[in-house]
Amino acid sequence: MTLFEQINNDIKEAMKARDSVRLEALRGIKKVMLEAKTAAGAGDELSDDESIKIISKLAKQGSESAEIYKSQNRQDLADVELAQVAVFNAYLPAMLSDEEIEQAVKQIIQNCGASGMKNMGKVMGIATKELAGKADGKVISQKVRSLLQ
């Protein structure tokens, strides 16, 4: 069962359970997935990797929105966003720890023979592909920068 099919099934379950927060979050995921499937140049099916990228992007946007709401003293709206982010995170693979990210980046640096900041783009390209959905891009960038300096 693909992640898209799982989302569809979970929408039905959320409707039966009358879980409005979960239902709204899942409908948001499905909407973005359908847009990605029907975009120009897209294939008929959406792979699980593409689905995970979509969901992680939604989770990141939701977290950023919650921070903005908190800074504007709108805790009620922040709580709604954070509840949806929790639903999004349930579909994402477990994030790597700092040590695991550092080990992976060290391995990538060693494999491509990078030395110094001039190779940061090369390392970042490989690292973001390998660690997609498992680590935040900012954290990867910080680790690459610190290890190359």
3-90 architecture in CATH? Orthogonal Bundle (1.10)
Q: Residues 104, 131: contact at Cβ < 8 Å?
A: yes
**What pLDDT sits at residue 80?**
93
**What pLDDT sits at residue 23?**
95
Residue spans per domain, the chain = 3-90, 98-148
d(CA 144, CA 54) in angstroms, rounded, equals 24
Rounded to a whole number of angstroms, the distance between the first and last alpha carbons of the chain is 44
User: What CATH code is assigned to 98-148?
Assistant: 1.10.10.410
DSSP state of 44: S
**What pLDDT sits at residue 9?**
95
d(CA 76, CA 135) in angstroms, rounded, equals 29
DSSP state of 41: T
Of 123, 89, 94, 92, residue with least CA distance to 106: 123
Which residues touch 22 (CB under 8 Å, ≥6 apart)?
A: 10, 14, 87
**What pLDDT sits at residue 112?**
82
95-119 pLDDT per residue, tens: 888 888 888 888 888 888 777 788 7
Beta strands (DSSP E) in 64-109 are: none
Residues of the chain where predicted confidence (pLDDT) is lower than 70:
none
Place of tokens 């709206």: 77
**What pLDDT sits at residue 140?**
86
- pTM given for the model: 0.73
